Amino acid sequence: MEIYILTLFPEMVTDALSHSIVGRAAASGKLRIHALNIRDYSTDAHKKVDDYPYGGGAGMVMFCQPIYDCVNAAKEMSGGDAPVIYMSPQGERFDQGIAKELSGNQSIILLCGHYEGIDERVIEEVVDRQISIGDYVLTGGELAAMVVADAVARLVPGVLHNDQSAAGESFENDLLEYPQYTRPRVWRDREVPEILLSGDHAKVDAWRYEQSVERTKRLRPDLLREG
């Protein structure tokens, strides 16, 4: 899968996505992260990308041309039909379901805004979908794009070594994940639940399911009501 991130701060995203599981997936070629610098596409002599807002008000607005050209370049590189997603607090709320949906694409394009936002006309012209990572305002879309890229990347087949890891975890089937334990068996007088040492896989599975349901009821009852 290919993830294009269009930003004024490409190093911010390439650095953050070069570690651990996502970094390894990128190194192995299962995943390609392309960070495109929107400024490189500005035709302005000084590589300007923003201007004062019509109607006045605080801050600057990113103008259409560099964004439009950068999106078109990403589309061309990706082979054509990648959805263009604008990271915005006005978008639909990101969740595991959207992550799954996006992971089904061969390529996705994540557009990061900055300053007071981007000219509405370029949103109308090129954006297919707007996604928010929560009800708070970030200084730019980069952190949000990284969140989306990370959540999507780990759903790409082969990125997690064990396909079971994505299947049993939080939000699958609208349940939170069961508690995990590793050695030592006793730590500061706290023992690993006996059943996990039993070797009885059916019992272990049943116990884990019960734990998931109990946790979800206690910590996130809204997930059960939604389902």
- The residue ranges that bind ligand ADE (CB under 6 A) are 87-89, 132-134, 136-138, 141, 144
State the Cα–Cα distance between residues 62 and 66, nearest whole angstrom: 9
User: Minimum CB separation from ligand ADE for residue 145, in Å?
Assistant: 8
Helix (H, G, I), strand (E, B) or coil at 108: strand
Helix (H, G, I), strand (E, B) or coil at 123: helix
Q: For ligand ADE, give the closer residue by CB, 142 or 208.
A: 142
Cα distances from 150 to residues 16, 53, 188, in angstroms, run 10, 33, 34
Cα distances from 140 to residues 110, 153, 181, in angstroms, run 12, 21, 38
User: Minimum CB separation from ligand ADE for residue 148, in Å?
Assistant: 8
Q: For ligand ADE, give the closer residue by CB, 22 or 85.
A: 85
The residue with tokens 């990061």 is 112
User: Minimum CB separation from ligand ADE for residue 76, in Å?
Assistant: 25
User: Minimum CB separation from ligand ADE for residue 61, in Å?
Assistant: 14
Establish how many alpha carbons lie within 13 A of residue 174's alpha carbon, considering only the half-sphere containing its beta carbon. 8
DSSP state of 38: G
Q: For ligand ADE, give the closer residue by CB, 77 or 138.
A: 138
Q: For ligand ADE, give the closer residue by CB, 54 or 136.
A: 136
User: Minimum CB separation from ligand ADE for residue 131, in Å?
Assistant: 6
State the Cα–Cα distance between residues 117 and 59, nearest whole angstrom: 9
Q: For ligand ADE, give the closer residue by CB, 115 or 207.
A: 115
Q: For ligand ADE, give the closer residue by CB, 61 or 144.
A: 144
CB 4 within 8 A of CB 36: yes
Helix (H, G, I), strand (E, B) or coil at 33: strand
User: Minimum CB separation from ligand ADE for residue 112, in Å?
Assistant: 8
